[in-house]
């Protein structure tokens, strides 16, 4: 069957835009687009389990992804980032990565301000042969306060090139990568080592 991105592109084509396409990160054709929807790319990059020495490569990958989004989205266009990370943690990451290239969404769940909460109802309880019965429901209760899974869509408008040039030429704060690494570390789920 078609991937989620392919199904979404087809749905967008059938309703509004004739030129919607589904592409894997890094395989996109050059050129600017009116909007780009990114499904969990930043989550996958920031939550990947790497050793201390590899955090610099994770940081570089995230910066490259944000830079690529800025090249793909034309000024006035929109980048929609779909994430499992709540706004209070994800918006600061987007802010540091966007580097003034995009207008940032709200840190609260406010659709008018660019942060859309999507609540997926709990799936029918499936028996796991290896896990505890109800473990998924308990995990969702701890993460989201309910059995429903929450994801967020962050809508960011690409600023015009003059604002982007200003952001790139402004001096950066001291030790910017250290602060960004702290934000990236907050993106991942807790592990036993955190206890």
Concatenated DSSP letters of 113-174: GTEEEEEEPPPPPPPPSSS-TTHHHHHHHHHHSSSSEEEEEEEEEEPPHHHHHHHHHSPPPS
**What are the pLDDT digits (tens) for 73-125?**
999 999 999 998 889 889 999 998 998 999 999 998 888 888 988 887 766 55
pLDDT at 164 over 90: no
How confident is the model at residue 56, as a pLDDT? 64
pTM of the model: 0.71
- Residue 137: band (very low, low, confident or very high) from pLDDT cuts 50, 70, 90: low
Phi, psi of 36 (to 5 degrees): -130, 130
pLDDT for position 94 = 93
Q: 98-127: b or e for each residue (b if 16 or more CB lie within 10 Å)?
A: bbbbbebbebeeeeeebbbeeeeeeeeeee
Q: How confident is the model at residue 156 (pLDDT cuts 50, 70, 90)?
A: very high
Cα maximum dimension of the chain: 57
Give the confidence band of 159 by pLDDT, cuts at 50, 70, 90: very high
pLDDT at 176 (0 to 100): 59
In whole angstroms, give the CA distance from residue 112 to residue 116.
8
Number of H helices, E strands in the chain: 7, 5
pLDDT band for position 28 (cuts 50, 70, 90): confident
Torsion of CA 74, 9, 104, 142, to 10 degrees: -160
Q: How many other CB atoms are there within 10 angstroms of residue 72's CB atom?
A: 21
Average pLDDT, the chain: 75
For helices 55-72 and 87-98, what crossing angle results, to 10°? 70
- Read off the pLDDT band of 154 (50, 70, 90): very high
C-alpha distances (whole Å) from 170 to each of 25, 27, 105, 174 are 29, 31, 21, 13
Q: Residue 173 — very low, low, confident or very high, per pLDDT cuts 50/70/90?
A: very low
Q: Which residues contact 156 (CB under 8 A, 6 or more apart)?
A: 78, 79, 80, 81, 94, 98, 102, 103, 104, 105, 114
What confidence tier does 166 reach under pLDDT thresholds 50, 70, 90? very low
Answer with the residue of higher pLDDT: 41 or 53: 41
């Amino acid at each position: 069957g078609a991937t989620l991105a392919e199904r979404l592109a087809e749905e967008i084509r059938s309703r509004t835009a004739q030129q919607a396409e589904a592409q894997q990160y890094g395989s996109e054709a050059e050129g600017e687009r009116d909007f780009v929807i990114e499904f969990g790319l930043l989550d996958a990059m920031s939550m990947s389990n790497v050793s201390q020495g590899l955090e610099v490569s994770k940081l570089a990958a995230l910066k490259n992804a944000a830079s690529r989004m800025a090249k793909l989205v034309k000024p006035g266009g929109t980048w929609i980032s779909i994430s499992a990370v709540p706004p209070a943690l994800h918006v600061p990451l987007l802010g540091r990565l966007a580097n003034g290239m995009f207008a940032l969404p709200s840190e609260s769940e406010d659709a008018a301000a660019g942060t859309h909460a999507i609540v997926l109802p709990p799936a029918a309880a499936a028996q796991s042969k290896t896990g505890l019965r109800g473990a998924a429901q308990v995990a969702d209760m701890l993460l989201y306060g309910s059995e429903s899974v929450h994801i967020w869509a962050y809508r960011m408008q690409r600023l015009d090139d003059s604002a982007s040039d200003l952001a790139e030429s402004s001096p950066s704060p001291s030790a910017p990568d250290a602060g960004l690494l702290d934000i990236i570390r907050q993106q991942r789920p807790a592990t036993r080592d955190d206890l």
